[in-house]
Chains A and B, each alone.
Chain A
Amino acid sequence: MHIPDGYLSPATCALFYAGMAPVWFVSARKAERALKLKQLPLLSFGAAFAFVIMMFNIPVPGGTSGHMAATTLMAIILGPWAAVIALTLALSLQAFFFGDGGITTLAANCFNMAALMSFGGYYTYRLISAGAKPLQGAEPPRGDAGRLRRVIASAIGAYVAVNIAAFAAAMELGIQPLVAADALGRPLYAPYPLSIALPAMMIPHLLIFGPVEAFGTALAVSFIHRTDSAMLHAAGGAGGSLKPLWILLAIMIILTPLGLVATGTPWGEWGKGELAGLVGYVPAGMHRLGEMWTGVMPSYGIKGLNAVFGERLGSVAGYVIAATAGSAGVILAVYLWGRIWRK
């Protein structure tokens, strides 16, 4: 996932350096506050650990092996802010001494693999493990629901983190033909559009690298929980508020109406009429099955809403109601799941 030098345009690289500068600053401050004077050796050892653990191959089911980035594990142990700094240090050394990633693309790689992975993995872990039995002593009883839940949470967190980072990297690479081309329209940096970059990055990460990272993280968290669970919150990794996550979710929900600005049909979501226009015919199976289930709110609309508010305002209201209902449904499901698990 390390983006090498020469794949991103200078403008993209500059944007990421500008974007990461405050993240590094805040991370250093937060880590300093959380870890006090311990921070320097701890962050350095954390970075060295992340560096070395990437050398280890995990024996995965099926007889093959792969290596993990251990970012989510680091975020769980050190806390996400400290993990951002530790991973930045590790990525800097990799870029300089190993040529893994590049100097101009360092900030973009740090954004993907240090920031997104740390926060994505950590908050997914926290969200799923919230309410798990508290860590007590060195050896929690076997079969402890808290342990199982934490292990599953860490695996899902690692899987989500890897795929968020891969998605970001694919987006960064995929927009290059749009933002940097010569006078004849030929690409100057990563040459493939999003339609190629996204599946090329996401398919291996969804099917191979994500499961390997999840598996490795789950193995490590399970072992640590069984042998020395105090380590799981040794350096500020556990505890803390989930408030930032809820704020982020609220912002995303508020920003949902931005979808109304988009024009045209998303790739692959064509209706039968559009498909017929594009390829000249509608496959028989699609024709037959397409009418079977049109959803509770087909095309994000509610019957009768257009008649009351008019077509434009009705479609906007329908879109916002659909987004609100969807978000509420997901939060309700997570809440119920948490309640059931707690029992």
Chain B
Amino acid sequence: MAQITGIPPWFKEARDKPCSTRDARGKGDGTEPFLAKTLSNIASAAARLLDSEECAGRPGLLQGLNPASRIAGICSVIMGAAITKNPAMLGGIILLTAVLAFASRVPPAVLVKRVMPAFAFTAVIIAPVFFMANAGFKAGVFIIARVTAMTALTALLALTTRQTDLFRGLRRLPVPQFFVTALFMTFRYIFILLKMAEDAAFAKKSRLISRAGLRQSQSQNQRWFASRVALFLKKSLDMAEDVMGAMASRGFTGQVKTFDGEGLRQRDYIWLFAAFFVFFLSVGF
């Protein structure tokens, strides 16, 4: 292959990430730490918002249920986990969560990734309880298990429910319609603002030169932060105005009408019976 000429050597170097500003001394990435953290937060938020869609699209036990019965059932099991004082009952709920995840074809790694932060946080917080005279090892493990079970169930609900199904399901439950509609719109707008935020952070990053003398001062960075907050706020208000205009011109009067989908089927009734059975069992134990 003919040697490409005319391209500067730095252009041909492999970079670990786009726009990397690793400095010449090799002391880490020269990107402003606050900017790197911001980009990482945005990327992780976007990934989390989207990765449940993939799991929810698979054929599985929970995915096959009516959204309203799925939400009501999982919430009742969550309440069961909150109420029970019996370690065996709590162990049973954790086992049930694992079976539901398996039957719904939710990859264990995805579920564990979602549960791990709450588990790790609680484990660290609860550690001293193991040595408390009035609590002890059993009480500490029980609290950690309860938090883990409840977080896993919430994660399972999120991973097996498409976003549109979630809002459709909430609409059939005793949740105010105003709130559900606003929640649905918020979810849509989050993507718009996240994209805007990512663009702003990347634009800033791509203009940074990591040489110490050329790095921006703290006050410049702070001014940038303030200007972005003001910009997003302004854009949000302007877009809200535009959306409202569009809605009003289409005859919106405050009432949202949607297609609620089909009603409950036999399997939904069986699922609800099982879920409420777990709940009432937890009350007794």
A interface, CB within 8 angstroms of B:
4-7, 9-10, 13, 24, 28, 37-38, 40-49, 51-59, 61, 63-65, 67, 70, 73, 77, 85, 88-90, 92-93, 95-99, 102-104, 182, 185-191, 216, 219-220, 222-224, 227-228, 231, 234-235
**Chain B residues, CB < 8 A from A45:** 186, 189, 193, 236-237, 239-240, 243
- Say whether B49 faces chain A, with CB atoms less than 8 Å apart: yes
| Cβ contact within 8 Å between B38 and A55 | yes
| Cβ contact within 8 Å between B237 and A4 | no
With both beta carbons as reference points, the residue of chain A lying nearest to B187 in the complex is identified as: A93
**Chain B residues, CB < 8 A from A7:** 147
The A-contacting residues of B in range 91-127, CB under 8 angstroms, are: 114-115, 117-118, 121-122, 126
Report the Cα distance A64→B37, complex, angstroms: 11
State how many angstroms separate the Cβ of B31 from the closest Cβ of chain A. 12
**Chain A residues, CB < 8 A from B121:** 4
Out of A13, A41, A47, A67, name the residue touching B239 (CB < 8 Å).
Answer: A41
Out of A67, A89, A185, A231, name the residue touching B237 (CB < 8 Å).
Answer: A231
Report the Cα distance A42→B236, complex, angstroms: 8
Report the Cα distance A103→B75, complex, angstroms: 8
Out of A47, A56, A93, name the residue touching B229 (CB < 8 Å).
Answer: A56
- Say whether B9 faces chain A, with CB atoms less than 8 Å apart: no
| Cβ contact within 8 Å between B183 and A93 | yes
Report the Cα distance A45→B238, complex, angstroms: 10
A–B pairs, 24, beta carbons within 8 Å: A4-B150, A6-B143, A37-B248, A38-B240, A40-B247, A42-B240, A44-B186, A45-B189, A45-B193, A47-B186, A47-B189, A52-B190, A55-B45, A56-B38, A56-B228, A57-B35, A65-B33, A89-B179, A93-B190, A97-B52, A98-B45, A98-B48, A99-B151, A219-B226
| Cβ contact within 8 Å between B189 and A44 | yes
Residue interface bits B122-166, CB-to-A below 8 A is 1, else 0:
100010010010111011101100110111001101100000001
Supposing A5-B151, A219-B226 touch, asked if A49 and B193 sit within 8 A by C-beta, the answer is yes
With both beta carbons as reference points, the residue of chain B lying nearest to A49 in the complex is identified as: B236
With both beta carbons as reference points, the residue of chain A lying nearest to B117 in the complex is identified as: A99
Report the Cα distance A308→B226, complex, angstroms: 61
With both beta carbons as reference points, the residue of chain A lying nearest to B227 in the complex is identified as: A223
| Cβ contact within 8 Å between B232 and A53 | yes
Report the Cα distance A71→B180, complex, angstroms: 21
**Chain B residues, CB < 8 A from A98:** 45, 48
Out of A51, A59, A73, name the residue touching B225 (CB < 8 Å).
Answer: A59
Report the Cα distance A48→B45, complex, angstroms: 12
Report the Cα distance A52→B121, complex, angstroms: 23
Supposing A59-B34, A96-B166, A99-B118 touch, asked if A48 and B136 sit within 8 A by C-beta, the answer is no
| Cβ contact within 8 Å between A191 and B139 | yes
Number of A-B contacts (CB under 8 A): 240
| Cβ contact within 8 Å between B226 and A222 | yes
- Say whether B277 faces chain A, with CB atoms less than 8 Å apart: no
Report the Cα distance A74→B33, complex, angstroms: 26
Out of A13, A46, A61, A182, name the residue touching B236 (CB < 8 Å).
Answer: A46
Report the Cα distance A77→B32, complex, angstroms: 30
With both beta carbons as reference points, the residue of chain A lying nearest to B196 in the complex is identified as: A52
Report the Cα distance A73→B32, complex, angstroms: 25
| Cβ contact within 8 Å between B134 and A185 | yes
- The 8 A-B residue pairs whose C-beta atoms are closest, nearest first, are A6-B147, A5-B150, A44-B185, A65-B34, A48-B189, A223-B226, A219-B226, A55-B41
State how many angstroms separate the Cβ of B175 from the closest Cβ of chain A. 10
Report the Cα distance A56→B40, complex, angstroms: 10
With both beta carbons as reference points, the residue of chain B lying nearest to A227 in the complex is identified as: B230
Out of A9, A48, A97, name the residue touching B192 (CB < 8 Å).
Answer: A48
| Cβ contact within 8 Å between B223 and A223 | yes
Out of A37, A89, A103, name the residue touching B154 (CB < 8 Å).
Answer: A103
| Cβ contact within 8 Å between A6 and B244 | no
Report the Cα distance A4→B186, complex, angstroms: 22
| Cβ contact within 8 Å between A186 and B135 | yes
- Say whether B273 faces chain A, with CB atoms less than 8 Å apart: no
| Cβ contact within 8 Å between A186 and B79 | no
With both beta carbons as reference points, the residue of chain A lying nearest to B185 in the complex is identified as: A44
Supposing A48-B186, A92-B183, A220-B229 touch, asked if A55 and B176 sit within 8 A by C-beta, the answer is no
